[in-house]
Amino acid sequence: MGAHAQEHKSHKKLIWKVFGILSIITIVEVVLGIVKPEALFYTKIAGTSILNIIFLVLTLVKAYYITWFFMHMADETKSLRRSVVWTAVFLIIYLATLLLIEASYVNDVLGPLVKWNY
């Protein structure tokens, strides 16, 4: 037991570093969400604003850090990592893509039918 305790290397430094990264990303997100810089908020790219794309990317970066370093996915075998992460990533992208494409279509068809003046 004692020998085992000795061979364990503490990850404390790494944990605080990841906490710093997650905090900075969250602060950036909140500041962008409050300020909404016009150039990012009103410029469209890939069907949404640049700001939304930035939020999405920052979210995925946060998810990566939580999964890899807080949940120690980095220390698992490649096979476990892939069977969990690839499955989730593939199915979620698949679902989201179809849902959002269909929803845009419904919006195109339904939108003009909604009455806004009385």
CA distance 102 to 39: 29
Both tokens of residue 62?
């946060």
76: contact with another protein by CB under 8 A: yes
Residue from 39, 46, 110, 113 in contact with another protein (CB under 8 A): 110
Helix ranges (DSSP H) in the chain: 2-7, 12-35, 38-41, 50-65, 78-110
**What is the C-alpha to C-alpha distance for residues 65 and 23, in angstroms, rounded to an integer?**
11
Q: Is 106 a residue that touches another protein (CB under 8 A)?
A: yes
The residues that touch another protein, with contacts defined as CB under 8 A, are 1, 4-5, 8, 10-12, 15-16, 19, 22-23, 26-27, 29-30, 33-34, 41-42, 48, 52, 55-56, 59, 62-63, 66-67, 69-72, 76-77, 79-80, 83-84, 87-88, 91-92, 95-96, 99-100, 102-104, 106-107, 110-111, 114-118
